[in-house]
Copies of this chain bind each other. A is one copy, B any other.
Amino acid sequence: MTAAGLPMTVPDPQLPPRVRIHEVGARDGLQNEQSVVPTEVKAEFIHRLADAGLTTVEATSFVHPKWVPQLADAERLFPLLGDLQDVRLPVLVPNERGLERALALGAHRVAVFASATESFAKANLNRTVDEALAMFDPVVTRAREQRMHVRGYLSMCFGDPWEGPVPVEQVVHVCRALLDMGCDELSLGDTIGVATPGHVAALLTALNEAEVPTDRIGVHFHDTYGQALANTLAALRHGVTTVDASAGGLGGCPYAKSATGNLATEDLVWMLHGLGIDTGVDLGRLCATSAWMAGHLGRPSPSRTVRALTHQEQ
């Protein structure tokens, strides 16, 4: 379908020259799959993502296996990635027990998972927002003592299925708490995909006013309503240079087999390369990797770019 030289590169001087993609497919994607992917396939997936040029690949999660059986093999998987010395391999840790497991395996980077809303904190962590922050405090302190890099995920930054729109000030408050606790980086999650570009701009402006440095902010958009890439463009325009995405758009909602959750890395890369923004990613290799993983999962990739470039059938 596509002739050589596409997308045509036309830079926008108002946008950053380089973006770091925080690849979440192996963790956020696979933890939402109904089937459990074999450990060796996960290891090959992560190696292939690194080969495609991704420099930050979230590898797994040290949650209790009962909660997320899809990632119960973290102890077996992580040692299989030992040769990837030049790739950042953050892992999710829900609590001190998870952190100790990650430390025992030599992980250098961890992430905690907070909520901007009371309803989701209750549903996901069975705690209030403040109780969840109190739970993470010793985790972040201990990780920092061990010279680990700590990322703080923040869910429901734009809307919440129970509460509706989420006030910007509420999100800024939890962001400040995570940074004050010692998080190096934040990831602003639009967990239900409802954000639009003006809302993104408003939150980033409020964070600037609260003196949160833009280089410590990542964005994590979901494509539930098709808005993820337009929202990413709005974030780039505000100077954000860390963007979360999932290879092949892994992480679909369970009620629609091929409806996407996470922004597909390939669709993001297409836009960034068209804008002349360096990512270090080889789009052809990345699409081939996502098509290969789609074969393992037995369903097509929801990424439009993967479908178009690999002529993947529904």
Contact = CB atoms under 8 A, between A and B. Distances in A.
Interface of A: 1-12, 15, 158-166, 192-199, 201-202, 223-227, 229-230, 232-234, 253, 255-260, 264, 267, 270-271, 273-276, 300, 303-305, 307-308, 311-314
A contacts with B: majority SS: loop
A218 to B, nearest CB: 18
Q: Which of A196, A256, A275, A311 has the most CB of B within 10 A?
A: A196
A158 B3 CA distance: 12
Q: How many copies does the complex hold?
A: 2
Nearest to A274: B196
A246 to B, nearest CB: 13
Contact of A8 (B159, B229, B273): B159
B313 A159 contact: no
10 closest residue pairs by CB, A with B: A196-B274, A226-B267, A8-B165, A10-B198, A3-B164, A226-B304, A5-B164, A257-B314, A10-B199, A12-B198
Contacts of A260: 304
Given A2-B192, A233-B233, 14 more contacts: A8-B159, A8-B196, A10-B198, A10-B202, A196-B271, A197-B271, A198-B274, A225-B267, A226-B267, A227-B274, A229-B229, A258-B258, A258-B314, A260-B304
Given A158-B8, A230-B233, A259-B304, A199 B163 contact: no
Contact of A226 (B1, B233, B259, B264): B264
Nearest to A263: B226
B165 A227 contact: no
Contacts of A276: 198
B161 A2 contact: yes
Given A230-B232, A270-B227, A8 B314 contact: no
B3 A257 contact: no
A271 B193 CA distance: 11
Nearest to A224: B308
A72 B57 CA distance: 53
Contacts of A12: 197-198, 201
A233 to B, nearest CB: 5
A162 B194 CA distance: 38
Nearest to A273: B196
Nearest to A314: B257
A180 to B, nearest CB: 27
Given A3-B163, A161-B1, A226-B229, A196 B304 contact: no
A276 to B, nearest CB: 7
